[in-house]
Amino acid sequence: MLRIDCDESGVPQIQPHVRVHWRHLERDDPGLDATRVLYAMQHRKSRRLLYLGKADFQTVAQRLKCRSKLGVWARIEEEVGYVASCTALLGEFEVAPGVRLTQQMLSDAESLLIMGEDPPGNRQCRKGRITRPGLCVACLGQWPGRARAYLDNDFDDEFFGNSRVNVWSSRWNR
């Protein structure tokens, strides 16, 4: 039987391995000008993840202010009631040697995290998505999610040993 070893923080050691380093964004933060990153909105007090998005062709600041997000913010306000008390987070990618951060990889990582966390502000990818079997997205730093790693797979349960505490698997949540 094959087993996955986990590092000291419970992140499985699988390739291709994508690590997303999360941190809070402040006003005038240079991270607001970043592209090819993920960003998230979190409630300050409850630390609940409200929305997760990607900034690929636009900066994080442009994505947060674009007209297409007006509906997202209204939906969060209506469903959850606390958009005004949110904080933004930036997720910067680190990929394994030999792995390129392509548009598709960025989209696959975003959709896997959305499916794993089910934020109320997201409509797409909450129940289904195009899969990339074997993709493991590890979230480090100030990530507010329930898991530290998200795996798109069809492995059996024994494959993970006792690492479920820190792993979310698409197989377990169908």
Question: What local confidence, expressed as pLDDT, does residue 164 receive?
Answer: 43
Predicted local distance difference test score (pLDDT) of residue 100: 85
CB–CB of 155/147 below 8 Å? no
Does the model's pTM come out above 0.85? no
Give yes or no for a contact between 117 and 93, defined as CB atoms under 8 angstroms apart: no
> Domain limits of the chain?
17-173
For the stretch 110-169, pLDDT in tens is: 999 998 898 988 877 655 566 777 788 889 999 999 888 888 875 544 444 444 445 666
Confidence of residue 15 (pLDDT cuts 50, 70, 90): very low
> Among 18, 65, 17, 58, which residue's Cα sits nearest to residue 41?
65
pLDDT above 70 for 18: yes
Mean pLDDT value of segment 4-10:
62
